[in-house]
Amino acid sequence: MSDVDPVGAIDGLLTAFVSRAPAVSLAGSVHLHCTDAHGEWMIERGSTGDLELSHRHAKGDCAIRGTAAAMLAVLGGAGVLADLEVIGDTVVAESFVAALRMN
């Protein structure tokens, strides 16, 4: 059994993504929310045009919700987006996950 903290691992993945891919094409803002742990993130284009990551609850063009373990699996490439609940614009959610996996 793994001792990986999924919320911490998600935070690390998202932080690295935003820092490595400031000009990545993102179709809209994304709100991620863990349903079983304290983990919430907002990724959006900032006033400078770069991607920004914050730890807050906000309405995005899409929301991606699920357990921390399922979210980590999807964001890390070991799961599929259908394993999570997507609210709002599914194209934004799909493009976000694809961009995250490419970077």
Q: Does position 1 have pLDDT exceeding 50, yes or no?
A: no
Residue 10 has which token pair? 């998600």
Angle at 30 between CA 29 and CA 31, to 5 degrees: 130
Task: Supply the pLDDT for residue 4.
Answer: 81
Rounded to an integer, the average pLDDT of 57-61 is 95
Task: Supply the pLDDT for residue 11.
Answer: 96
Alpha carbon 10 to chain centroid, angstroms: 8
Q: Give just the sign of the alpha carbon dihedral 10, 48, 91, 99.
A: negative
Rounded to an integer, the average pLDDT of 59-76 is 97
Please name the amino acid found at residue 81.
Answer: L
Segment 20-43, tens digit of pLDDT: 876 677 889 999 999 999 999 999
Rounded to an integer, the average pLDDT of 75-99 is 95
| 75: confidence class by pLDDT, cuts 50, 70, 90 | very high
Annotate 14-28 with b (16+ C-beta within 10 A) or e (fewer). Answer: beebbeebeebebeb
List of domains in the chain: 6-102 (3.30.1050.10)
Half-sphere exposure of 45 (CA within 13 A, CB side): 11
